[in-house]
Chains A and B, each alone.
Chain A
Amino acid sequence: MSATLGVLIQMALRNLVVHRVKTGVVGLIMFFGTFLVVSGTAMLDSIRGSMEKSITSSLSGDIQVYSSEAEDALALFGSMGMSTPDIGEIDEFKPLRETLLEVEGVKAVVPMGIAMATVFGGTEIDRVLSDLRVATRDADAEGTAMRVEQLVQIAERMRKDVAMAAKASSEPEKTQDQLASLDRVLAPGFGADLAADPSGTLDWLDNKVAPIAADGRMLYLRNIGTNLDTFPQTFDRFRLVDGELVPPGQRGILLSKAFYEKQAKNFVARELDKIKKSLDQGKTIAEDAVVSELVARTATQYQRIQFQLSPKDAVIVTERLRTKLGRTDGDLAALLQEFLKMDDANFADRYAWFYQEIAPRVRLYEIPVGEEVTLRSFTKSGYIRAVNVKVYGTFEFSGLETSDLAGANNLVDMMTFRSLYGKMTDDQLDELADIKASSGVKQVSRDNAEDALFGGGGSLEAETTTAGAGFDEFAGLTLGAAATAGALDTTQYTTAQMEDGLALTAAVVLDEGGDVPAAIERIEAAAKAKGLAVQAVGWETASGIVGQIVMVLQVVLYTAIFIIFLVALVIINNTMVMATMERTTEIGTMRAIGAQRPFVIVLFLVETMVLGAIAGGLGAGAGALFITWLNHVGVPAVADALVLLFAGPRLYPVFTSGNLAFGMGSILAISALSTLYPSVLAARVLPVVAMQAKE
């Protein structure tokens, strides 16, 4: 038997040498196929490993437990869809926490909730108007004149924008109205109007002019409510960047550093940061079109600095800019424009100067650390809630600093989460019952119940906004009195008060090296025994968009592997069919002198599989070498999203014997599969053809 196999392999090898071209073509495909499988699966496994590190240690824990009544899948890092997914609710966190902590292998349980909120960042015009109010009230003629001048400049810019937008507007009347309002500001008599009736004119400006610019000045925050006392210990990638941690028992928000830098920062500063990043990557303003356009655009935004400077600071900056640029005259606008006209030679200097001289004098961040901020959210019933919280600091997850995905979430305490989420507490429900009883109103629906409770002064018959209303409506409402935030809540809460009550999920951290699927089973069994309607999912599923990215990568990889193997299958099949036809005499002779059909089948199978083993072995080896090389140099996370996948700025992939075995196994399987038909064809060759052979 072994002697026969020996001869078969020898025949296979020699046939491979004889049919060099066929061997070369088929071998090359096999080589690439195996190379792709080994290096691809090694990369994917490495990414999955690094992703596990970054996700489990930053936000999700190993397992997420949430309501089994959820309509949608949990997506901690956000989902592909636009709407907020319905992941159900956990009405009482306490029993769930107690149950989970009893499960074998569970190290920690942290409550979580997801709530979206907006922060009204305010526009330049808002700031100018509020400064103008102060100036007119104080009868500060100089300040008033300066603010009016700024207002006119803003109105000019806005008029251009509106006129441009008017061409495509579906509401010509509205744009006409807006243009008329702006024209009044731009008219020569406006200063006199203001002087004649300061408060009336200012109200008119607030109601008519400010809203024109209101669009797009909203900052959207994705907040994860959690136990802020235990979070930093449980998730060891957490690192405070600015400010301080929220003191134990206090309400507050910690902003993601990435969000803070990319969304909340002054536009000009943000653009300068972007340019610096590009230049740090080795690009130049002179040669890179994207960067040079960025520089050009930044220069046009000088007003975003100009209008933020107080009159006193404006004078100082004007003076210093003159010195800096070597000018004897020129107003602030002109100087700023010139300053922002940057090239490769002066960028570093201007950048440093900006942060040294200008940044401290403007509102560098829309939401400054240490200040109070009003978070607004749509509750589930479409009502707007407003909550005031203090911004204690900013944080990042170490290794994931540049990842937008990792930085998409801000952290709030559970109380604030519950307010934003809009679920009524028992107390509030009682209060609602009282209102109902005392007011004698016919019916308080669940929809307008919140209105009754939170709608500062609004009557019970107040209209309720419908869920999913557009943001225009939202913007309009924020200007009115519909949602007032109330005073900052500085009550000292206990851990129980913070944790117990509504949560959306429980993040479960397992003991070191815990088996996730097994723990999920144990958790679901324990929850079932206690009658808790929850489900448990692993970090990969729970992470949402990120898990989907890995899935997409997986699909792409397996599709590529599938295609290359399909091509291999077809080509090997075809060449082997041709080989069969060329070799009918040889096959017929073997059959005539006593070879059974299975022998012929094995002969052909062995031939392709020997080639598969050699070419596949080389491919697998090359794949392993390639991964080793990548491990040496590191794969840079070129896109921000990759930082999260790579758990840092570079991925150092490794391969396992499993990757090699999978590569070899699949190429051998493909070899066998592709030779099946040709070898059966060969086995059908009749022994008589041996007799018909001609030299």
Chain B
Amino acid sequence: MSGIVRLMDVVKDYPLGKVTVHALRKVNLTIDKGEFTVIAGPSGSGKTTLLNLIGCIDVATAGEVLVDGKSTGKLTDKQLTSLRLNSIGFIFQSFNLINVLDIRQNVEFPLLLQGGLSKAERQARVDDVVDKVGLRQFASQRPNELSGGQRQRVAIARALVTRPAIVLADEPTANLDSTTGTQIIDLMKEINHQDHTTFIFSTHDEKVMKRADRVVRILDGMLEAAGLSESRGPSESGGEQVHA
């Protein structure tokens, strides 16, 4: 059984007053290690819901979600949290940095939660990722002193610092202008190439989609039929994606 992420007949319902919103309906999906995957779909289609399940911050109503070989439905809150801490990096649409901490501290934060590393080791790791995202000279500034693109780079650094198996990003470019957005995607892509970190991110931006190795399309909580909805190929040839 391969695949760092596997979803089998996954259903997610949200009770909304008297009605039930079917956010995901029997979704089946396998994502392999090292893939650079885009979840694409219009607003309300279920992208965030899908990422929540993969990111272990929510559990499925039915079906099975396997992350790094663990079935999330069977885990306690504590175990889920620990799985998130150790196996998953998060990049949010609104950056979600801790405003009272400086850049270096924001990036170091997950390492402190993990524990186990010496101060020097943490220092080295933080410097490494901060360099990688090109923010060395901003390391001791606070998030609100930075631009949106810079903040998202910090978020990327924070997501990478624990060397997670999977990095999840929910519309990471939605709050950025298109040039900056492209730069962010390129940065993620580059890291994917270098470290073979698995990236899964959602977007409804066609330009972003073009950079992906693989595009998974979602509509009304259902993935479009494999082969039709999915396209694989090098991002360089993103423009030649088969689409319906």
Contacts and interface: CB of A to CB of B under 8 A. Distances in A.
B175 A695 contact: yes
B176 to A, nearest CB: 10
A3 B93 contact: no
Given A594-B81, A594-B82, A690-B90, A7 B105 contact: yes
B84 A3 contact: no
A14 B81 contact: no
Contacts of A585: 94, 96
B98 A590 contact: yes
Main SS of the interface on chain A? helix
A693 B93 contact: yes
Interface in B87-111: 89-90, 92-96, 98-101, 105, 108-110
Nearest to A596: B81
B81 A589 contact: no
B112 interface: yes
Interface string A219-241: 00000000000000000000000
A18 interface: yes
A638 interface: no
B57 interface: yes
Interface in A582-630: 585-586, 589-597, 599
A14 B142 CA distance: 11
Interface in B17-74: 48, 51-52, 55, 57-58
Interface in B157-195: 158-159, 162, 170, 175
Interface in B111-169: 112-115, 119, 122, 158-159, 162
Given A1-B115, A3-B119, A4-B115, A593 B110 contact: yes
B78 interface: yes
Given A592-B55, A691-B170, A10 B101 contact: yes
B4 interface: no
Most-contacted residue by chain B among A590, A593, A690, A695 (CB, 10 A)? A593
Interface in A180-210: none
B241 interface: no
Interface in A2-34: 3-4, 7, 10-11, 14-15, 18
Nearest to B100: A14
Interface string A656-695: 0000000000000000000000000000001110111111
Given A3-B119, A599-B113, A691-B51, A593 B90 contact: yes
Most-contacted residue by chain B among A590, A591, A599, A695 (CB, 10 A)? A695
B85 interface: yes
Contacts of B78: 596-597
A4 B110 CA distance: 10
B98 A592 contact: no
B113 A589 contact: no
Contact of A693 (B92, B100, B113): B92
A597 B77 CA distance: 9
Contacts of A7: 101, 105, 108-109, 112
A7 B105 CA distance: 8
Most-contacted residue by chain A among B94, B159, B162, B170 (CB, 10 A)? B94
Given A7-B101, A690-B57, A691-B170, A592 B90 contact: yes
Given A7-B105, A595-B113, A688-B58, A693 B98 contact: no
Contact of A691 (B57, B77, B115, B162): B57
B235 interface: no
Contact of A593 (B99, B113, B115, B170): B113
B86 interface: yes
Given A4-B112, A7-B105, A15-B100, A695 B85 contact: no
A695 B171 CA distance: 13
Contacts of B170: 691
A586 B96 CA distance: 7
A687 B81 CA distance: 9
B112 A690 contact: no
B96 A594 contact: no
A691 B101 contact: no
A688 to B, nearest CB: 5
Nearest to B56: A687
A160 to B, nearest CB: 83
A687 B84 contact: yes
B98 A11 contact: yes
A688 B101 contact: no
A688 B50 CA distance: 12
16 contacts: A1-B115, A4-B115, A589-B90, A589-B92, A589-B98, A591-B81, A592-B84, A596-B82, A596-B113, A597-B78, A597-B81, A686-B57, A688-B52, A691-B51, A691-B93, A691-B170
Given A7-B108, A11-B98, 4 more contacts: A3-B112, A7-B112, A10-B100, A18-B100
Interface of A: 1, 3-4, 7, 10-11, 14-15, 18, 585-586, 589-597, 599, 686-688, 690-695
Interface of B: 48, 51-52, 55, 57-58, 77-78, 81-82, 84-86, 89-90, 92-96, 98-101, 105, 108-110, 112-115, 119, 122, 158-159, 162, 170, 175
In the A-B complex, list the 9 residue pairs whose CB atoms are closest, starting with the nearest.
Answer: A594-B85, A14-B100, A687-B57, A589-B96, A693-B94, A695-B94, A4-B112, A594-B84, A594-B113
